[in-house]
Amino acid sequence: MEIIPAIDLIDGKCVRLTQGDYAQKTIYNENPLQVARMFEDAGLRRLHLVDLDGAKAGKVTNWKVLEQVAGKTSLIIDFGGGIKKEDDLAIVFNSGAAMATIGSLAVKQEAVFTQWIQHYGADKFLLGADVKEEQIAVAGWLETTDINILDFITNYQSKGIRQLFCTDVSKDGKLEGPSVTLYEKIIRSFPGIELIASGGVSNMTDLHRLASIGCSGAIVGKAIYEQRITLQELSRFNESNPK
């Protein structure tokens, strides 16, 4: 299982929100490149970069940070937030992202996303599924749909998507532990999918548990910034779990 550290961006700074609430914002570092280099120095290979300004504005906003991190580290970056049009997608790929993270658009504009998959290839996308009681949530988690997570995955697996991350809205940013039961259900139902756990990771025990149930990756954010998990621990974990 691969550890994927997260950097969330507001005004070009590294922040974390609690449960997606912009009013519950903590600034951890004003220099995302410095943070990314710390991850790289610890032997981590991937980065989950989230443009929270872009998500709010409905267009990619913090692409200069992406460009800087991609240009000055060797991290494999997936970038999300505000990707609504093909122009946004072009900016993301041209700025150095290996993958574009697509969430709400996959729910609300399936035809558009399907076209992108066909044009760019499924391996250029990381599908994001925010879930509330096994139903897909969108619009910054304010809106719960009637789409079941298993149906959602079935649909996009048929279109070639192989990698997705799933966030339990009730867990994110609260350091209360990940949704192991939900992840076990997904992994059992879709052996061909690479599932990345997201939300709730609070300590190394959580990560060992996620690895033991078969998650291919785990996104870790707040636990690093709150120093619940050290970069040394993550480095050792990655060394003992080679990808």
pLDDT tens digits, residue range 177-224? 899 999 999 999 999 999 999 988 999 999 999 999 999 999 999 899
Q: What percent of the chain has pLDDT over 90?
A: 80
pLDDT at 33: 97
pLDDT at 74: 98
pLDDT at 26: 87
Phi, psi (rounded to 5 degrees) for 96 = 115, 5
The CA distance from 139 to 103, in Å, is 9
Where does residue 163 rank: exposed (0-12), middle (13-18), buried (19+ CB within 10 A)? middle
Q: Among 14-23, 141-150, 205-214, whose mean pLDDT is lowest?
A: 14-23
User: Is 21 annotated as catalytic?
Assistant: no
Query: In sequence order, what are the residues at sequence separation of 6 or more whose Cβ sits closer than 8 angstroms to the Cβ of residue 149?
Result: 129, 131, 134, 135, 136, 166, 182, 186
Based on its alpha-carbon atoms, the radius of gyration of the chain, rounded to whole angstroms, reads 16
pLDDT at 172: 64
Q: Looking at 53, 78, 130, 206, which residue is catalytic? A: 130
pLDDT at 25: 81
pLDDT band, residue 238 (cuts 50/70/90): confident
User: Is 87 annotated as catalytic?
Assistant: no
More confident residue, 239 or 67: 67
pLDDT at 141: 57
Fold of 2-240: TIM Barrel (3.20.20)
The CA distance from 10 to 13, in Å, is 5
| pTM of the shown model | 0.94
As a whole number, mean pLDDT of residues 116-130 equals 97
Q: In the chain, where are the structural domains located?
A: 2-240
As a whole number, mean pLDDT of residues 138-163 equals 90
Q: What percent of the chain has pLDDT over 70?
A: 95
Cα-Cα-Cα-Cα dihedral of 155, 161, 163, 166, to 10°?
-30
Residue 95 reports pLDDT greater than 70: yes
